[in-house]
Amino acid sequence: MKIWRKLTGERLDKPLYDEVENVVIRERKQHRLKVCIGTDSQVKGSVTEFATAVVFLREGKGGFIFLNTYKTNMNFTIKERMIKEVSDSIEVAYLLCPIFDRYDIEMEVHADINSDPQFKSNVAFKEAMGYIMGMGYTFKAKPDAFASTYCANKVVQ
């Protein structure tokens, strides 16, 4: 079972789906919302730590984040790790998409993959873009993928 929390470290009281629906109902009364979902990872010796961020943006009024982290001893090539990050983000997007559709909330899936071929992560760019867009989601990569590149990254540094 994944344990979701706020940026402060406080655990969410309810399952992610219920928490997100409550947030959407509460926040949309005062703000236009947009949600961005992204995952980042960091290899530390034989352990790879993954963090997924669900970023709620209040148009013109800041935002807040729900986070999940886990560690694994699996060995990944750079391409496998990038696709695993995307897969984790899509898993969350797929869970939450019915809420966003019901309340007409814009959602993007962010990949911590560089669009510049000079960077190692670019080996998974086409596959990640196809995976995300093939699921019907809006795709963002570096430098526009702040949910993964900045938000999730802060947790796994």
- Delimit the domains of the chain by residue range: 4-156
Closest CA to 86 of 148, 14, 23: 148
- Structure token pair of residue 146: 């702040």
Sign for the CA dihedral angle at 116, 119, 121, 127 comes to positive
- How confident is the prediction along the chain (157 residues), in pLDDT tens digits per residue? 689 999 999 999 999 999 999 999 999 999 999 999 999 999 999 999 999 999 999 988 899 999 999 999 999 999 999 999 999 999 999 999 999 999 999 999 999 998 888 988 889 999 999 999 999 999 999 889 989 887 887 777 6
Q: Which fold has domain 4-156?
A: Nucleotidyltransferase; domain 5 (3.30.420)
Q: Whole-angstrom Cα distance, residue 81 to residue 65?
A: 23
